[in-house]
């Protein structure tokens, strides 16, 4: 039995879930974008207060590792590392693309039996971070940045139905016209969808190095130059 605090900050929604043995005890969500730094520490304090009231202690901290927002990922991982270090407990990394697939699998969406899963995370312009997975969360297409065009994923779509979803899927709706493309709207990464993946990692002993672990950006960070003030 493991008690885990899960942190998700890879996209616009900032969320935290507290779970024990796979069951969610508490969860918090802030849907206002660019507010992660202000809300995350409060969510974590509320989780710790709940544990104190029930004479419980966390066994691990889990954090979404990306791909996703550079700033959001850094905020989440920094908080997760600090909490894990302070409490002397392991840190678990959860892949954001697999997290999104888990969301769809548990959403009750009715999909054809041959369906594969294609989460898309928004990137710059017409680019997304994406991969393709089967029902067992095995990689069918290795995660990578992709510039969308009419031929994107056509080799997969010619053989399978493909569920396409996530924060970058809106870009693909008007571009990928294949009849086997099944678009699912409204799917965003949430900490509640991390619980099963974090629990599995806990039992497998799959922990991150507190000192050297970094987010999975999938490509180099591209900052912006400050404009000169006249």
Would you list the domain boundaries of the chain? 3-95+189-204, 108-184
Kindly state the tokens that stand for 31.
Answer: 């849907």
Alpha carbon of 211 to those of 3, 10, 73, 124, 136: distances in Å? 23, 20, 16, 29, 31
Kindly state the tokens that stand for 148.
Answer: 């969308």
What is the assigned CATH class of domain 3-95+189-204? alpha beta
Per-residue pLDDT tens digits for 181-225:
999 999 999 999 999 999 999 999 999 999 999 999 876 544 443
Q: How much is the pLDDT for 219?
A: 66
Instruction: Give me the mean pLDDT over the 18-31 stretch.
Output: 97
Q: How much is the pLDDT for 124?
A: 83
What is the assigned CATH class of domain 108-184? alpha beta
Euclidean distance between CA atoms 93 and 31, whole angstroms: 22
Per-residue pLDDT tens digits for 111-158:
999 999 999 999 988 999 999 999 999 999 999 999 999 999 999 999
Q: How much is the pLDDT for 190?
A: 98
Give the model's confidence band at 227: pLDDT under 50 very low, under 70 low, under 90 confident, else very high: very low
Shared fold status for 3-95+189-204 and 108-184: yes
């Amino acid at each position: 039995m493991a008690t885990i605090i899960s942190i998700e900050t890879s996209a616009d929604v900032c969320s935290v879930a507290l779970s024990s043995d796979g069951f969610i005890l508490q969860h918090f969500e802030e849907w206002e974008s660019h507010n992660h730094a202000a809300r995350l520490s409060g969510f974590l304090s509320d989780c710790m207060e709940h544990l104190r009231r029930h004479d419980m202690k966390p066994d691990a901290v889990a954090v979404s590792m990306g791909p996703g927002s550079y700033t959001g990922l850094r905020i989440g991982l920094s908080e997760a590392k600090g909490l894990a270090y302070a409490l002397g407990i392991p840190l678990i990394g959860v892949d954001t693309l697999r997290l999104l697939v888990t969301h769809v699998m548990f959403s009750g969406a009715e999909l054809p039996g041959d369906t594969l899963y294609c989460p898309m995370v928004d990137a710059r312009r017409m680019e997304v971070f994406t991969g393709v997975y089967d029902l067992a969360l095995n990689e069918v297409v290795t995660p990578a940045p992709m510039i969308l065009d009419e031929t994107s994923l056509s080799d997969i779509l010619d053989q399978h139905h493909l569920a396409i979803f996530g924060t970058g899927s809106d870009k693909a709706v008007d571009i990928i016209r294949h009849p086997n493309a099944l678009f699912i709207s409204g799917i965003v990464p949430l900490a509640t969808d991390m619980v099963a993946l974090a629990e599995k990692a806990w039992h497998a002993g799959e922990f991150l190095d507190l000192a050297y672990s970094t987010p999975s950006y999938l490509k180099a960070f591209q900052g912006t130059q400050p404009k000169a003030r006249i």
